Amino acid sequence: MGILWQRLRHNTLAIVGGVLVILLFLVAIFAPLLAPYEPDYIDRHHILEPPSRLHPLGTDDLGRDVLSRMLYGARVSLAVGFVAVGIATVIGVIIGAVAGYYGGLVDRILMRFVDIMLSIPTLFLILSVIAFVGANIWNIMIIIGLTSWMGVARLVRAEFLSLKEREFVLAARALGASDLRIIFRHMLPNSLAPVIVNAVLMVASAVLLESSLSFLGLGVQPPQPSWGNILTAGKANIEIAWWLSLFPGLAILITVLSYNLLGEGLRDALDPRLWERK
């Protein structure tokens, strides 16, 4: 960790991304303390009111405080991002590890399945599944996770193919270690660096995908706040309520950019070839 920090602190953009990610975490955790109103509180006297002292980011078409809804919406977006990426990472690691370690027929079957999944447009697959199971936050998290693991599987497979002929793996086999022990005790820890980087980048994609689904009305359903469904209200009133589109859009932009900056920085910090050249 010390070496990683020494490398990471030289990357200003990665540090900025990391600080913003931490701030987003704090905002999500302390949303009930930071929000001036309950997210569903309706103020009939201040409908579609622009930013003011009472409502710093304005109100929506029902008189609800946009700032409060965005703070609670941060919880939804980050929860969807982390749970979905967790599901995708677990599935991808297992399939990639099995394919890379055993090779041969097992590898060919699993990789053809990965190719089939990659050939299906993810957004349309998600929309089709939602049409059958319904749209709620848990379904969204699970569906995004179950349709996002293919890249992780190919990444882990490539790492395992390069590791399985290394001396420490051959030594473990010679000592009689089981396949599961070799995979999870010896090989997987040595292939986690690119998986961690990929997971950070996937959080940004999951947040963006959840916001897109909520914007289309197929994600998190009102009255539960989400940046995407706040944007939906902004679309309906864009000519008279610019703040309903601007502030949630900026929140999505900053969140996605923060995770991308942090992910790129981690990739550079964990790449030994880059630091050997320096």
Mean pLDDT of 153-179: 86
Neighbours of 81 (CB within 10 A): 24
pLDDT of amino acid 93: 94
Q: What are the pLDDT digits (tens) for 214-267?
A: 888 888 888 888 898 888 888 888 888 889 889 999 999 999 999 999 888 888
Q: What are the pLDDT digits (tens) for 28-54?
A: 999 999 999 998 888 888 888 899 888
Residue 158, beta-bridge partner list: none
SS3 59: strand
pLDDT-based confidence at 3, cuts 50/70/90?
low
Neighbours of 125 (CB within 10 A): 14
Structure tokens at 24: 């987003």
Per-residue b or e along 22-46, where b marks 16 or more CB atoms closer than 10 Å to that residue's CB: eebeebbeebeeebebebeeeeeeb
Place of tokens 């059958």: 132
CA distance 235 to 221: 16
Domains identified in the chain and CATH numbers: 2-270 (1.10.3720.10)
Instruction: Please say whether the beta carbons of 263 and 200 come within 8 A.
Output: yes
pTM: 0.86
Residue 10 has pLDDT above 90, yes or no: no
Mean pLDDT of 96-122: 90
Residue 24 has pLDDT above 70, yes or no: yes
pLDDT of amino acid 275: 47
Mean residue pLDDT of the chain comes to 86
Q: What is the DSSP letter of 189?
A: G
pLDDT of amino acid 276: 47
Structure tokens at 90: 């677990």
CA distance 236 to 170: 63
DSSP annotation string for 90-103: HHHHHHHHHHHHH-
Residue 272 has pLDDT above 70, yes or no: no
Instruction: Please say whether the beta carbons of 248 and 227 come within 8 A.
Output: yes
Residue 112 burial by Cβ neighbours in a 10 Å radius (0-12, 13-18, 19+):
exposed
Mean pLDDT of 1-8: 64
Identify whether 223 is preceded by a cis peptide bond (ω within 30 of 0): yes
Q: What are the pLDDT digits (tens) for 47-102?
A: 888 998 888 998 988 889 999 999 999 988 888 888 999 999 999 999 999 999 89
Question: Which distant-in-sequence residues (6+ apart) come within 8 Å of 81 by Cβ?
Answer: 203, 204, 206, 207, 210
CA distance 239 to 229: 17
